[in-house]
Every structure is written in C-alpha cells, then in structure tokens.
Amino acid sequence: MPAITIDRLDIGIYIQYARRTQLIEQVRQQYHLAEAGMIPAQALIVDLYPKLSELEILLGLGSTIAPWAYFFPPKSYASQRRSPFAFHRVLPIFGTSSDAEKDEEEKLNQIPVSSKEEEEEKMSIKNALRKIGELNGLLRFIGGRIGQFLQG
C-alpha cells in the first residue's frame, strides 16, 4: 500500500474543509461574534425566569430525579420585572422604605411568642431584616455613585 501524502489526498477533503470554514463564518456573522468584544464588562443581563436546575437546587432534588411538574410564572410577572438598567436590592420592598419597615415591624409584633427560644428566633428575624435594610441602603448608595460616575 503506497504512503498517503498530501498530493495523493482526495479532493473531497479540501471541499469538506471549505464547507466547514464557510459554516463557521456564517455562525460568526449570525451571532455577531466579531462585535462581542466591544460589549463593555459592565453590561448586565438579568434573567429572572427560574431555570429547572435552579429549582432542583432550591428544592433539594437530586439531578437524577425527573421533575414531576413544570409551572410558568404568574401572568403579571412580566410587568413586575425590573429593567436591566435599574439597580437591585438584596430584598425588594414595596412602597417606601419607611412604610416597609413599619409593615415588617407590625407583622413581627403580631407573631405570638410562647417560649424563650421563639423570642430568640423573633429577635434573629428582626436583626436579619435590619441587616437587609442596611445592605439595601449600601446598594442604593453605590448605585447613586455609579449614576454620578456615568453622568460625568
């Protein structure tokens, strides 16, 4: 059997290479991969729809267990989505922050406590909500400084 050299290769190899190269170029043009490097690092795309893998992690399901139900977000969910250009919070609030604090305080005061352990849990919840409020305040401060930076 004679040795295979480049001059003895079938022309089909070159045609296949040209077709594959052409397909790669089409994909690059279709997905604008040449322009992908011009997207700034600060760009943020927020996808708030839950993925099946995230739900499995959240619910503690194993990856080998098939899910028994799929569900869609509520119809009003799309109108509740925030813009990717908006700033985020650790825990979203409805209304003003003082209204939210009053509402949280009222709801916590309505919880009946019958033991010392429950009182400690209630205090832990109050501390957690206070820390979340502080984090939201810091995020608002950072967002304000980012806005000032972008303006000038």
Write 125-131 long-range contacts (CB < 8 A, 24+): 129/104
136 and 93 in contact (C-beta within 8 Å)? yes
What is the full per-residue pLDDT of the chain (152 aa) written as tens digits? 677 777 777 788 788 999 999 999 999 899 888 887 777 777 677 777 777 777 777 776 665 556 666 777 677 766 665 554 455 555 666 666 677 778 888 888 888 888 889 889 888 888 888 888 888 788 888 877 877 777 76
Kindly list the domain boundaries of the chain, sorted by start residue: 6-151
The CA-based diameter of the chain, rounded to the nearest angstrom, is 92
* Tokens representing residue 76 in the block: 């009003």
